[in-house]
Amino acid sequence: MDIARTPSTIDGNNQLADAPPEPKDPPVIRREDYKPFPWLVPQVELSFDLGISKTTVQAKLSVERNPAANADPVIHLNGDGLQPLTVLIDGEPTDSWHMEDADLLLSLPGESHEVTITTEIDPSANTQLMGLYASDGMLCTQCEAEGFRRITFFPDRPDVLSTYRVHMTGDAEAFPVLLCNGNLEASGANDDGTHWAEWHDPWPKPSYLFALVAGQLVANTDSFTTMNGRKVTLNIYVRDGDLPRTGHAMESLKKSMRWDEKVFGREYDLDLFNIVAVSDFNMGAMENKGLNVFNTKYVLADEDTATDSDFDGIEGVIAHEYFHNWSGNRVTCRDWFQLSLKEGFTVLRDQLFSQDMGSEPVKRIEDVRVLRGAQFPEDSGPLAHPIRPDSYREISNFYTATVYNKGAEVIRMMRTMVGEERFRAATDLYFDTHDGEAATCEDFIRAMEQGAGIDLGQFRLWYSQAGTPKVTVRLEHDGETATLHLSQEVPATPGQPEKQPMPIPLKLALFDRETGKHHGEQLVTLTKAQDNFSFAGFAQPPVLSINRGFSAPVTIQRDTPVEDLVFLAAKDDDPFARYEALQDLIVSHLKQAVDGALDLAAMQSAREAIARALGAVLADDTLDDLMRGELLVLPSETYLAETMLIADPGRIHEERQAMRAALGTMLEAEFVALHQRASAVPFSLDAEARGARKVKTQALIYLAAGNPELGKQMAWAQYQGADNMTDRQGALMVLTGLTGIERTDALMDFYNRYQGNALVVDKWFALQASSMHPACMAHVESLAKHPDFTLKNPNRVRSLYMAFAYNPHAFHAASGEGYKLIADVILALDPINPQTAARFVPQLGRWRRIEPGRSALMKEQLERIASAPELSRDTYEQVSRSLG
């Protein structure tokens, strides 16, 4: 699943009804308590009589005792908002069952049985978008993590693997397309205006990978022939009218299939691969076996409605879900504590794919920016947890940046330590050994040890310890020897006050100051609390480039002279290290400025040094514009706050904006020239044109900060002349932060041009909610009353309120109104879609790291949420942990 549930009861008509009050202290599920399920369910037959407001489900389960588990005559079947209409054992009615809370418990006297249960559900009432739900007249499912129990009673856990045979019946006009996992075996029409289809998935899978879609859809159809000659039919199903925007998604799918064969040796294993685009979806996409369900955001694109970033996102998410066919489906996770086994590994795979499809250094910088913006704050806050958590109350709260992005970095470190060839041998061993099994993180590590020939005993700490390690670096020079002194500290996190040293692989190079060259990149691994590494052959003190390529997900702490950072920003041959030097130069200055440690002369001197470094970036003919664009991006306010023990968001915003304005003024001529040069590049999707569009927007950002009238004039001209969404959105983004008629005209034109296109209207909401405009909060409050806004669509909620929550300038308003606004959203959204509501809580949960005035206001809002009656367990867990 790509990242973007509460029990309910039944009314007298056996329909999903409002949930009862959640327990204020829901039970804790612990990894150490895992036990194999007492019953196997090798085969499942499902029969659906489909309807928007009433769907009847008959589930026939072949069950047999599990020899690997303790014997239990009772089979415990999970349910959520269900009541059985009938229960049969071996075809006969039985009363040997009872309900325990939402679950059905059934006594089975023998070794094997056939259990048949009939339920009835109302998809139209399912606002949680988990289980079977209605989306704009279509029926679709989302079962990860625990949604299948909202369809029928079942041991809804990932270690129960079954083959599925599914019979679907529905109105032929309302549901002309009937889709499920696996291969279509038969279909036909009935005399009553309904039709049917039978699907069979031969590969055992857990219930969370079950999928069903029924609706009025059209398909972009293509094919792919695998490396062993299997011809696979590929379909991307969308609403009528959206078909012309599916070409990029189809090409991305075929590239993904080809790449996975070449790089990981993984071949597709069914005759069909179907993707369906859904407008109402909690996440980005879901890897259901053979039937991927996607948020429309990650399927639909053309140059008029999608930015370059959207095109990249579609390519990456298509790849991610396809790669899950092996790293998640063929080999799944034993329990939800092992979530990073499939998600961290698959994120790494999609990152490597995207590197190969585009610019490797640019992709690496983008991935690190995401890690630092989302996961580092998570690691240093009240919600910190290891990539393999030890406990949870609500599993949906662990679809986090730690599990996904840090999980990917941990596996990337293994790849760095053993090399690509040995890493491939180890992953081959992992897939071959555990094909068709529900595996653990330990199984993956063991395969890595055996396949790559490495001892990962100490490395296992990366799976069990939370927190971002801090590595302190000091370089000494004596005679002709440079000595690198390294020490590490893993900060205390909730429940883990004491930490052990972890192995930290660091790529480094030592540059000669005069020649600007080094003698080769080296890899050192810090395994102790502190250690020294010596390097001979340096008559003069060298310049250290460390953690090249971001070889370890750590923070580097060192007192690097400004002249060394300027040197590295201009001359380092590792693109990430060059980017990092420039970032360090800016962060160091801004931290001093925020602390008030600089007088006017020192402030001017620092800004001039940064301007020289940026000037070198602008003038460097060896850089392509994609990389140049990355080097021009300032450290985010969120990342700046993360580098401080206690952050003052107001001061951070003020100093960052002031520095941007100063740079825009000092380099005005250069930015104007850059914009003019880039504007002459005609539109295409190749790297040169994409890079040109990227630097055009960055130039506008600096110019608008340094000379608002000039920036407004150039942004308005770019908006009016744009022939693609990247240029149009980039210009509108700049204009939304300014005042004047151009802002109003551009916003009106944008909305009128794209009214009716939900994904583009989402952009319109998000641009205003994330703007630097001083009246941003008032704009958000007004937009919440717009006819196009609804709390029932997660994309629309995220476009307005999540964009605002991640806008430090507006969210951290000194009055506390931003905090209250988001708390109000959480309380209003929780009864509708608790999973989405809970994802807003972490922004308030950072209160301990914020200056006292704002901190008290944030905490006050958390306490207000916590005191609300009938909170979902999703939101309750996040709020209670945030308050500590």
Burial degree of 267 (CB within 10 A; 0-12, 13-18, 19+): middle
Q: Are strands 272-278 and 285-286 parallel, antiparallel or unpaired?
A: unpaired
Q: How far apart are CA 581 and CA 571, in angstroms?
A: 10
DSSP string, 10-33: B-TTS-B-PPPPPPSSPPPEEGGG
Neighbours of 489 (CB within 10 A): 15
Q: What does DSSP assign to residue 849? A: G
By percentage, how much of the chain surpasses pLDDT 70?
98
Pairing of strands 437-439, 331-333: parallel
Reduced to 3 states, what is the DSSP secondary structure of residue 883? helix
636 bridge partner residues:
none
- Positive or negative, the CA dihedral 439, 440, 443, 444 is positive
Question: Looking at the structure, do residues 519 and 442 belong to the same domain, yes or no?
Answer: no
Statement to judge: residues 347 and 487 lie in one domain: no
> CB 816: neighbour CB atoms within 10 A?
17
Is 236 within the bounds of a domain?
Answer: no
Q: Which of 197, 216, 235 is the last residue of a domain?
A: 216
85: CATH:
2.60.40.1730
- Report pLDDT digits (tens) over 351-394: 999 999 999 999 999 999 999 999 999 999 999 999 999 999 99
Q: State mean pLDDT over 409-430.
A: 98
Q: Report residue 101's pLDDT band, with 50, 70 and 90 as the boundaries.
A: very high
Residue (of 420, 384, 419) closest to 400 by Cα position? 384
- In this structure, the answer to whether residues 458 and 485 fall within a common structural domain is no
Indicate if the alpha-carbon torsion angle 641, 644, 646, 652 is positive or negative. negative
Cα–Cα distance for residue pair 427/266, rounded to 1 Å: 10
Annotate 578-607 with three-state secondary structure: HHHHHHHHHHHHHHHHHCCCCCHHHHHHHH
Do 309 and 13 contact (CB within 8 A), yes or no? no
* CB atoms closer than 10 angstroms to residue 550: 22
pLDDT tens across 123-162, in order? 999 999 999 999 999 999 999 999 999 999 999 999 999 9
Distance CA 376, CA 751 (A): 36
Contact in structure between 284 and 254 (CB atoms under 8 Å):
no
Domain-embedded: residue 600: no
DSSP 500-522: ----EEEEEEEE-TTT--BS--E
For CA atoms 239, 243, 247, 248, the dihedral sign is negative
Looking at residue 389, its pLDDT comes to 97
CA–CA dist 344, 339 (Å, integer): 8
Expressed in angstroms, the distance from the first to the final Cα of the chain is 29
- Same domain for 360 and 379? yes
Per-residue pLDDT tens for 676-715? Answer: 999 999 999 999 999 999 999 999 999 999 999 999 999 9
Q: What is the arithmetic mean of pLDDT over 867-883? A: 96
Going by pLDDT thresholds of 50, 70 and 90, the confidence category of residue 13 is very low
Q: Give a yes or no: residue 590 inside a domain.
A: no
Find the radius of gyration of the CA atoms of the chain.
28
Same domain, 202 and 350: no
Judge whether 185 counts as a catalytic residue: no
Across the range 238-246, mean pLDDT stands at 97
Q: How many CB atoms lie within 10 A of CB 793?
A: 21
Q: How confident is the model at residue 24, as a pLDDT?
A: 57
Shared domain check, 492 and 452 = no
751 within some domain: yes
Question: 480 lies in which domain range?
Answer: 470-552
Q: Which residues pair with 484 in a beta bridge?
A: 475, 533
Q: Is 719 exposed, middle or buried (0-12, 13-18, 19+ CB in 10 A)?
A: buried
Interatomic CA distance for residues 34 and 814, integer angstroms: 47
> Strands 470-478 and 481-489: what pairing?
antiparallel
Separation CA 57–CA 180 (nearest Å): 14
Give the number of other Cβ atoms within 10 Å of residue 341's Cβ.
32
Cα–Cα dist 499/492, whole Å: 7
Query: pTM value?
Result: 0.97
Burial class (CB in 10 A: 0-12, 13-18, 19+), 687: middle
Half-sphere exposure at residue 616, Cβ-oriented, CA atoms within 13 angstroms? 16
Supply φ then ψ for residue 157, to 5 degrees: -145, 150
Nearest to 135 by CA among 207, 214, 199: 214
Among positive and negative, which fits the CA dihedral 598, 600, 604, 605?
negative
Within a domain: 665: no
Between CA 75 and CA 108 the distance in angstroms is 7
Asked if residue 290 is part of any domain, the answer here is no
Regarding whether 474 and 404 lie in a shared domain, the answer is: no
Whether the CB-CB separation of 738 and 708 falls below 8 Å is answered with yes
Phi/psi at 113 (nearest 5 deg)? -150, 170
| CATH number of the domain bearing residue 618 | 1.25.50.10
DSSP conformation class of 327: B
For residue range 707-729, what is the model confidence (pLDDT) as tens digits? 999 999 999 999 999 999 999 99
Considering 447, 464, 481, which residue would you say is the last residue of a domain? Answer: 464
How long a stretch of residues is the chain?
A: 884
Q: What is the CATH number of the domain that holds 407?
A: 1.10.390.10
Q: Which of 120, 321, 449, 877 is catalytic?
A: 321
749-761 burial: b if 16+ Cβ within 10 Å, else e: ebeeebeebbbbb
Q: Which residue has the tokens 């040997």?
A: 96
Do 413 and 515 reside in the same domain of the chain?
A: no
Instruction: Using alpha carbons, select from 146, 113, 141, 115 the residue that is nearest to residue 55.
Output: 141
Peptide bond into 145 cis (omega under 30): yes
The answer to whether position 364 is within a domain reads yes
492 and 458, same structural domain? no
Domain count, the chain: 4
pLDDT, tens only, 802-833: 999 999 999 999 999 999 999 999 999 999 99
* Average pLDDT, integer, range 101-113: 96
Confirm if 84 and 153 have CB atoms less than 8 A apart: yes
16 pLDDT above the threshold of 60:
no
CB 252 within 8 A of CB 237: no
| Boundary of a domain, candidates 174, 194, 216 | 216
Surface-to-core class of residue 599, CB atoms within 10 Å of its CB (0-12 exposed, 13-18 middle, 19+ buried):
exposed
Q: What is the CATH number of the domain that holds 546?
A: 2.60.40.1840
Please report, as a single letter, which amino acid is at residue 228.
Answer: N
pLDDT bin (cut points 50, 70, 90) of residue 20 is very low
Indicate if 501 and 619 belong to the same structural domain: no
Q: Sign of the C-alpha dihedral, residues 380, 381, 382, 387?
A: negative
Which amino acid appears at position 487 of this protein?
A: S
pLDDT in tens, 604-616: 999 999 999 999 9
Same domain? 510 vs 400:
no
Instruction: Give the mean pLDDT of 624-648.
Output: 97
Q: Are residues 445 and 539 in the same domain?
A: no
CA dihedral sign, ordered 13, 18, 19, 21? negative
- Dihedral-angle region of residue 436 (phi above 0 means left; psi in -120 to 50 means alpha; beta otherwise): left
Show the tokens assigned to 746.
């551009």
Residue 579's CB: how many other CB atoms inside 10 A?
25
Which helix or strand (DSSP H or E) is residue 473 part of?
strand 470-478
pLDDT at position 5 is 27
Q: Is the dihedral of CA 387, 388, 390, 391 positive or negative?
A: positive
Tell which residue, 123, 128, 197, 210, has the closest CA to residue 161: 210
Q: Angle at Cα 349 formed by Cα 523 and Cα 458, nearest 5°?
A: 45
**Which are the contacts of 458, defined by CB distance < 8 A and separation ≥ 6?**
502, 503, 527
Is residue 454 in some structural domain? yes
Quick: pLDDT tens for 452-484. Answer: 999 999 999 999 999 999 999 999 999 999 999
Question: Residue 11 has what pLDDT?
Answer: 30
